[in-house]
Amino acid sequence: MVKTAVGTLARPQGRPLDAVRQVAVVVGASLFVALCARVTIPLPFTPVPLTVQDFGVLLVGLTLGSKRGFAALALYLAEGATGLPVFSPTGPGGIAQILGPTGGYLMAYPLVAASAGFVFERGAWTFARAAIGGFLATILLFAGGLTWLYFLTHSLAKAAHLGLYWFIAGSVIKVMFAAAIAVRWRRFKKS
């Protein structure tokens, strides 16, 4: 009886500490994506800037997994919606940025992180699995962004011109880097 009572009392002390740690990881990941959003190159022929933000989203999803990755990016959107300067500085910020030309990409971020994490956590932590998860998540990212641009422009060709063609090569590079880092991070944490 004493062991049960002591064991029961000892467990709740560990849970709050673990919960605080998980919250700190999610908040830190949202701030990491905000820092990545600061690395931006505006392109004169499109309202969608070239940014490292999607690399941050992929890396968060791959390293934290589907649930915490989703939570971190949902928090990121909430931070931006309240007016915190977490989005790319080339946009108006706040709700206006979420409803603007880049809104489809932004709104897809939680699902992008969750899908990358979901694929990567479902098997061996190999570069190939991480890259596949990253590529599938990037397809989802472009689907969200292009759908929103289509809604704004009423033209699929115009949406693809503004939000796809200029970004494919950069996205391939970002997926590869995110996959390589995620594999190393997971192996480091495992050992």
For the chain, the structural domain boundaries read 2-190
Q: pLDDT digits over 22-71, tens only? A: 999 999 999 999 999 999 999 999 999 999 999 999 999 999 999 999 99
pLDDT at 187: 83
Give yes or no for residue 18 having a pLDDT over 70. Answer: yes
Q: What amino acid occupies position 79?
A: E
Which H or E run includes 40?
Answer: strand 40-41
Q: What is the mean pLDDT of the chain?
A: 92
Give yes or no for residue 9 having a pLDDT over 70. Answer: no
CB 82 within 8 A of CB 88: no
In the chain the first and final C-alpha atoms are separated, in Å, by 37
Q: How far apart are CA 107 and CA 101, in angstroms?
A: 11
Q: What would be the CATH architecture of the domain defined by 2-190?
A: Orthogonal Bundle (1.10)
